[in-house]
Structure 1
């Protein structure tokens, strides 16, 4: 956590950061800055239609983005049972969430991470950040700081640290149907 304040300053300035998650390094930015999201999408060569994942330190940080009133008590309980942890849930988005986050969907993918560096970062920043794997299109996701520097160089501000050691990226499930989009 040597450079936590530098990374938070980078987020506040609209820059893209790279940080360790449960399995791989992620790249992220301020989810409320369209310019920052555009920078991230350009770096990843990722179409805006796909939407982005938000990663947070706790459920409360996601409240501005999700409409959990559309979920039943049992659906909310199922989600709560998996967090914090490596499960990403696709949930109904609030109508105020910009399309540059949701893409072509009326939902948003969110995760409360159990990775201590992600938690520290989101707490220091005071809100969630976007999360997509740190790699250039067609390249394998980065698992070390060295791989991030090799692939992305000075295009990101690196929050150095170790990943959580998981082999697979987070599982992605639909909060309303339970359907698994990506096996964890």
Structure 2
């Protein structure tokens, strides 16, 4: 059974930190839909999410961060014009596909790409998650491949009666659609 926590409590905050450190899968509300997240440097946790979603690794996953500073390590190796293109969208509901020339993000998150999709969220709960975790987190919609993303906790439980270790209580951010995805190298809108 999935444990539910509230980040307003000290116990909830401690449990979240232990979950990220312990390679657990977390379900949480984002700007528009419920998301699944984990420590991106844990191959075990990422593999668990991919298996739950029935999503092939080669497609890659998104990272979500609390601030530009949390992803500064990805931006610093880039030319200044590309850094500025990404930063102009954050915080907010825009995911930027940025080059990862130093391969700082593991292949199990990047998939078959030499880029990584990154969003700096404006959602207070998502920001809090990433601050408590001390790192950007994997963020992918909470649904099996081909199904509509969960928009309520009961849908999360129905989609995944097992496999999610922790559910963070909270409200969606009010957006109607998942984040826009922009390739900052080409300027192309991918979603």
TM (normalized to structure 2)?
A: 0.88
2:33 aligned to 24, 27, 30, which one?
24
- Would the aligned equivalents of 2:16 and 2:133 in 1 still touch at CA under 8 Å? no
Report the Cα offset of residue 95 of structure 1.
2.3
Deviates more, 1:88-97 or 1:173-182: 88-97
- Would the aligned equivalents of 1:71 and 1:175 in 2 still touch at CA under 8 Å? no
Report the Cα offset of residue 126 of structure 1.
0.3
Cα distance in structure 2, aligned partners of 1:53 and 1:178: 18
1:128 aligned to 136, 146, 163, which one?
136
Partner of 2:106: 98
Partner of 2:4: none
Task: Give the alignment of 1:82-161 within 5 angstroms.
Answer: 82-93=89-100, 94-156=102-164, 157-161=166-170
Number of corresponding residues: 180
- Encode CA deviations 1:31-72: one digit per residue, 9 max, x unaligned: 0111111111111111110011000001121134x2543333
Cα distance in structure 2, aligned partners of 1:11 and 1:60: 19
Q: Any stretches of 5+ residues in structure 2 without a counterpart?
A: 1-6
Calculate the aligned-residue CA RMSD, in Å.
Answer: 1.5
Partner of 1:36: 45
Over 3 Å counting, the alpha-carbon distance change for 1:160 and 1:153 in structure 2 is farther
Partner of 2:3: none
Q: Report whether the alignment pairs 1:79 with 2:86.
A: yes
- Would the aligned equivalents of 2:96 and 2:182 in 1 still touch at CA under 8 Å? yes
Partner of 1:14: 23
